[in-house]
């Protein structure tokens, strides 16, 4: 579900939101080129093409745009790392392999407004002097694949892509590639391996993709939202962009509210908005319940509790609270949720999705799943709590890529805030929660028997 500006107008102070990418998602056929152009689409491209590539890079750098995929690396800086005049082809690869539990921003964005990405790609390719861009899309979302393909075809027909698309910079082609549904392929170097036709496993760095990425050529790998934000920056200006958010985290971004929220969905707002404000906009936690814990940016970011409602949701603010902004996937859980159960499910996910390359992640998640299931089932010992904390510590920071860190996050953050609940599982020899109570239909009497 998407939130429209009209919805917001009726119920909440409009200035809290900053719909840019999501501004016209509620229009009929918002994904078409016509609608996109009617809303100012491809104006940024025209401006960018008049600028020298290096000026575009500098402009994006000055805008302060930071990567929206989770790490928050300055986008312009990434572009700057591409060696120029090296005689090799350059590639732009857009990471659309959105697979993090709770994360759901790129898929709706591409579904409703694919042209913002296409335009952003053309600008980025102009800047880094690339003549071929790839979109690596999560394989399961076939409707989005079709939308993307048709958007690329439309852009082709309109002359934005193809022969001479970049003027003096030459031609530009976009290849839309559907992955096979492995979480690891969202890691940028694993994504490159997968795109090259290999088994997706992270590569050793250095060399970094900027030096030897796709087919060993200089490559920029950016998140969908990062690239899609570029056209607006070019069209409206960097000062406009900087007028939103904070000094270090300027601009707008998509916040994905999910879980026990009255009106879940995409809320596009300046960086630095708080969860309290977002909950105010979205009707709060579902009626009759209160927030228990939440993730600021998907399951890989250490979870937070209701004491963190006023943490500014930007890179610095969430970092200071001991977590990470991540993908801004705000999964909210109310007091009916068993944190042990939630963490067990996440751990199962990480064990299933571990690529197997390095020992800590492969073996650690394999072990953690067994222990978490035992704890949830009340079959564990009190010493097992120290054990999982220790295993999480042995994974965190020791694994090959950040996936291992992500797998450890829910364990140690939940232990930090809810150790008592873990202990309760052990002392009471079972889970004190009724799983049915946390389902969406728990408060209506009719669906109680569903095995959630």
Partner 1 sequence: MTVTTDAKNGGGQPKPPPTDLVTLTIDGIEISVPKGTLVIRAAEQLGIEIPRFCDHPLLDPAGACRQCIVEVEGQRKPMASCTITCTEGMVVRTQLTSQTAEKAQRGVMELLLINHPLDCPVCDKGGECPLQNQAMSTGEAETRFDGVKRTFAKPVPISAQVLLDRERCVLCARCTRFSNQVAGDPMIELLERGALQQVGTGEGDPLESYFSGNTIQICPVGALTSAAYRFRARPFDLVSSPSVCEHCAGGCATRTDHRRGKVMRRLAADDPQVNEEWMCDKGRFGFRYAQRPDRLTTPLVRNAETGELTPASWPEALRAAAEGLTGARGSAAVLTGGRLTVEDAYAYGKFARVALGTNDVDFRARVHSAEEAAFLASQVAGHGVDLDGAGTDYASLEAAPAVLLVGFESEEEAPGVFLRLRKAHRKHGQRIFSVASHITRGLAKTNGTLLPAAPGTETDWLEALAGSDPALGAEGRQAAEALRESGALIVVGERLAGVSGGFTAAVAAAAATGARLVWIPRRAGERGAIEAGTLPGLLPGGRPESDAEARAEIAAAWGLRALPEAAGRDTAGIVQAAAGGELAALVVAGVEIADLPDPAGARAALDAVAADGFLLSLEQRPSEVTDRAHVVLPVSAVVEKEGTFLNWEGRARPFAAAIKPDQMTRRQTVPDARALQMLADALDVHLGLPDLPTLRAELDGLGEWRGALPLGPTATPADLPRPGAGEAVLAGHRLLLDQGLMQQGDDALKATRHAAEARLSPATAEETGVATGDHLTVTGPAGTVTLPLRVTDELPDRVVWLPLNSVGGGAYQDLGARPGELVRVAAQTSAASPATEEVNA
Which parts of 195-224 interact with partner 1 (CB under 8 A)?
199, 204
**Which of residues 164, 181, 397, 430 is near partner 1 by CB under 8 A?**
397
- Region of 9-17, 115-123, 136-144, 355-363 interacting with partner 1 (CB under 8 A): 355-363
Helix (H, G, I), strand (E, B) or coil at 218: coil
Nearest to partner 1 of 268, 353 (CB atom):
353
CA gap 384, 432 in Å, rounded:
18
**Which of residues 82, 355, 385, 411 is near partner 1 by CB under 8 A?**
355
Q: Burial level of 352, CB count in 10 A (0-12/13-18/19+)?
A: exposed
**Distance of closest approach, residue 407 Cβ to partner 1, in angstroms:** 11
83 contacts partner 1 (rule: CB under 8 A): no
CA gap 274, 424 in Å, rounded:
32
Q: DSSP string covering 82-106, please?
A: S-SSSSS--EEEEEE---STT--SH
Which parts of 147-186 interact with partner 1 (CB under 8 A)?
182, 184
353 contacts partner 1 (rule: CB under 8 A): yes
**Distance of closest approach, residue 268 Cβ to partner 1, in angstroms:** 31
CA gap 284, 277 in Å, rounded:
9
- Beta strands at 291-295 and 132-137: parallel, antiparallel or unpaired: unpaired
Binding residues for partner 1, how many (CB under 8 A)?
Answer: 31
CA gap 348, 376 in Å, rounded:
13
Nearest to partner 1 of 157, 381 (CB atom):
381
What phi, psi does 450 have (nearest 5°)?
-65, 130
**Distance of closest approach, residue 42 Cβ to partner 1, in angstroms:** 41
**Distance of closest approach, residue 230 Cβ to partner 1, in angstroms:** 29
394 contacts partner 1 (rule: CB under 8 A): yes
398 contacts partner 1 (rule: CB under 8 A): yes
Which residues neighbour 326 within 8 Å (Cβ) at sequence distance 6 or greater? 70, 100, 103, 295, 296, 297, 298, 300, 301, 318
Nearest to partner 1 of 268, 376 (CB atom):
376
Structure tokens given for 235 = 């069209």
Q: Do residues 1 and 26 make contact, with C-beta atoms less than 8 angstroms apart?
A: no
Nearest to partner 1 of 199, 419 (CB atom):
199
Q: Is 76 left (phi over 0), alpha (psi -120 to 50) or beta?
A: alpha
- Region of 88-96, 333-341, 359-367, 439-447 interacting with partner 1 (CB under 8 A): 359-367
Nearest to partner 1 of 37, 398 (CB atom):
398
**Which of residues 214, 234, 275, 358 is near partner 1 by CB under 8 A?**
358
**Which of residues 81, 367, 412, 417 is near partner 1 by CB under 8 A?**
367
- Region of 92-100, 154-162, 240-248, 398-406 interacting with partner 1 (CB under 8 A): 398-406
Structure tokens given for 401 = 């890529």
CA gap 180, 182 in Å, rounded:
6
**Which of residues 38, 163, 352, 429 is near partner 1 by CB under 8 A?**
352
CA gap 127, 172 in Å, rounded:
12
- Site residues, partner 1 (CB under 8 A): 182, 184, 199, 204, 351-360, 362-367, 370-371, 387, 390-391, 393-394, 397-400
């Amino acid at each position: 579900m998407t939130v429209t500006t009209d919805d917001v107008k009726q119920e909440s102070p409009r200035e809290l939101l900053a719909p840019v990418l999501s501004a016209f998602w509620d229009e009929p056929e918002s994904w078409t080129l016509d609608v996109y152009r009617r809303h100012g689409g491809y104006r940024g491209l025209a401006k960018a093409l008049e600028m020298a590539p290096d000026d575009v890079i500098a402009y994006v750098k000055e805008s302060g745009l930071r990567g929206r995929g989770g790490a928050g690396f300055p986008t312009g800086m990434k572009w700057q790392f591409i060696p120029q005049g090296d005689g090799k082809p350059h590639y732009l690869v857009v990471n659309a392999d959105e697979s993090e539990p709770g994360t759901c921003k790129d898929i709706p964005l591409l579904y409703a407004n694919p042209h913002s990405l296409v335009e952003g790609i053309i600008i980025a390719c102009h800047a880094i002097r690339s003549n071929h861009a790839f979109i690596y899309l999560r394989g399961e979302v076939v409707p989005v694949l079709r939308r993307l393909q048709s958007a690329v075809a439309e852009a082709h027909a309109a002359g934005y892509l193809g022969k001479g698309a970049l003027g003096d910079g030459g031609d530009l082609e976009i290849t839309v590639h559907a992955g096979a549904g492995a979480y690891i392929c969202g890691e940028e170097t694993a994504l490159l391996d997968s795109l090259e036709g290999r088994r997706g496993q992270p590569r050793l760095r250095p060399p970094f993709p900027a030096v030897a990425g796709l087919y060993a050529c200089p490559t920029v790998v950016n998140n969908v939202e990062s690239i899609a934000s570029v056209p607006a920056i070019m069209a409206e200006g960097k000062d406009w962009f900087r007028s939103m958010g904070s000094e270090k985290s300027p601009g707008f971004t998509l916040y994905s509210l999910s879980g026990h929220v009255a009106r879940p969905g995409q809320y596009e707002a300046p960086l630095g908005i708080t969860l309290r404000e977002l909950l105010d906009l979205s009707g709060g936690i579902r009626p009759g319940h209160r927030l228990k814990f939440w993730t600021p940016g998907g399951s890989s970011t250490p979870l937070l509790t209701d004491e963190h409602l006023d943490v500014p949701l930007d890179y610095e603010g969430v970092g200071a609270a001991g977590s990470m902004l991540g993908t801004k996937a705000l999964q909210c859980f109310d007091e009916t949720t068993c944190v042990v159960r939630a963490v067990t499910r996440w751990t199962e996910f990480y064990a299933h999705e571990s690529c197997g390359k390095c020992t800590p992640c492969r073996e650690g998640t394999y072990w953690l799943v067994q222990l978490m299931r035992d704890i949830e089932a009340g079959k564990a010992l009190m010493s097992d709590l120290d054990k999982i904390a220790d295993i999480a510590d042995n994974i965190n920071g020791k694994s090959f890529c950040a996936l291992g860190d992500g797998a450890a996050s829910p364990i140690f953050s939940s232990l930090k805030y809810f150790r008592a609940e873990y202990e309760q599982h052990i002392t009471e020899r079972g889970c004190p929660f009724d799983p049915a109570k946390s389902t969406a239909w728990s408060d209506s009497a009719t669906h109680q028997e569903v095995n959630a």
